[in-house]
Structure 1
């Protein structure tokens, strides 16, 4: 069983949510509205959606969303908000690699939140191909990652830590495994007397590799950006926003 099947619950999940910047999320949502050409009647797919920080504001535009995530805690939280506010969001709690998408149903799709590096090579190709299969011809797929090789490797850190809100401390011991193309990390979360440690693998791809996988799935990459201002991605940029069109 892959690490992400059991990671997103309890303290790590709370730390991830508290670490998010609401203002920056609003900028990302505006970016998605633009690059995905979202209209009030659009059918939009949010893959690895978490607690719906992008889907919730997008649903208020009148489009319909399908949100897929593997975490029951996140899905239950999102479902409660959807029910309370009567929003046009369908929540699917499952492993996306096992889910059968309808062919060409969605106008667009996105995967934001730095979860685009969970999968090793063969599974990553399957993930991209499944998502492409679900999008209509001419529709767009946008992804975000902070784990591109050109971002991580120039300034690779074997150890790092940071405080999180609510007195949570995050620590990581990182080892780059070149034979696997991944970072194997021991992540520790501490809050008062509570301490949780997980070993995770973040798979590191070059931009060229991702472009190849997208093209292999019938997606033409139309933009690679280093920020939400749509400046072209260059070596050393801390994150990548990539947009592709279904051929």
Structure 2
């Protein structure tokens, strides 16, 4: 069982939702709309869609969206919202690496930092599945804050933040042999306490280029911000744009 199979529930979900603003979601959806070069009615795949904040925005623009997430709780939320708003969203709960999907997507994306969940062998399988599901010439966007050039120069062993009425504490350990950050997480609200552990695998940008090429995807752009600026060493996030060969 992967660490993320039972991670996304309870205070974790509540804190994540509270941390996402409508403005940020709109900016990210606009970015996807620009770079994926989709036409209304075309199919787009949201990988690790969560409760569907991007899927909902893109469906409102007229795209046919398929979302996949490991969290049944999130998928149920998305299905209810899509049904209520009469939006073309097909939402699936399950492990993206094993869930069967019909290919031919015109675009795909993975936003929200879930892209860093996989060690090298599984990352290659993940990218190969993305490539296999895309139509020829289809675009894929991946978003990560766990790129080596971003996280290692200012690695923090401990941090905390307040999200609404939830306090979120993080203690990090870096395993250089595996290029993996293990995080011990504590969520606190009033007398309620929940503990989690997560693992994020750290890649250099050059490693990503090699993995993408091996999977049949060619990275054409690497952005450091939603405004389309080029990635610079130390930027908080990396957004890569890749095309199926």
Under a length normalisation based on structure 1, what TM-score does the superposition of the two structures give?
A: 0.97
1:202: how far off? 0.8
Matches within 5 A, 1:53-202: 53-103=53-103, 105-165=104-164, 167-202=165-200
Distance of 2:57 and 2:19 partners within structure 1: 19
How far apart are 1:127 and its partner, in Å? 0.8
Measure, in 2, the Cα distance between the counterparts of 1:117 and 1:211: 15
**For 2:239, which of 238, 241, 245 is the aligned residue?**
241
What is the RMSD of the two structures over their aligned residues, measured on CA atoms? 0.8
CA distance in 1: counterparts of 2:216 and 2:34, whole angstroms: 22
Which consecutive segments of 4 or more residues in structure 1 shift more than 6 A? none
- For the residue of structure 2 that corresponds to 1:97, the secondary structure is coil
| Deviation at residue 10 of structure 1 after TM alignment | 0.6
Residue ranges of structure 1 left out of the alignment (5+ in a row): none
How far did 1:3 drift? Answer: 1.2
Q: Distance in 2 between matches of 1:152 and 1:177?
A: 13
CA distance in 2, matches of 1:20, 1:46: 17
Superposition deviation, residue 200 in structure 1: 1.1
1:46 aligned residue:
46
TM-score, normalising length: structure 2: 0.98
Tell whether the 8 Å contact from 1:101 to 1:130 is kept in structure 2 after alignment. Answer: no
TM superposition shift of 1:209: 1.0
Residue 16, structure 1, aligned to residue 40, structure 2 = no
Cα displacement (A) at 1:99: 1.7
In structure 2, runs of 5+ residues without a counterpart are none
SS in 2 for 1:227: coil
Partners of 2:98 and 2:192 lie apart in 1 by: 34
Measured in 2, the distance between the counterparts of 1:126 and 1:19 equals 30
Q: Report SS of the residue matched to 2:41.
A: coil
What is the match of residue 35 of structure 2? 35
Separation in 1, partners of 2:203, 2:95 = 22
Task: Report deviation, 1:180.
Answer: 1.1
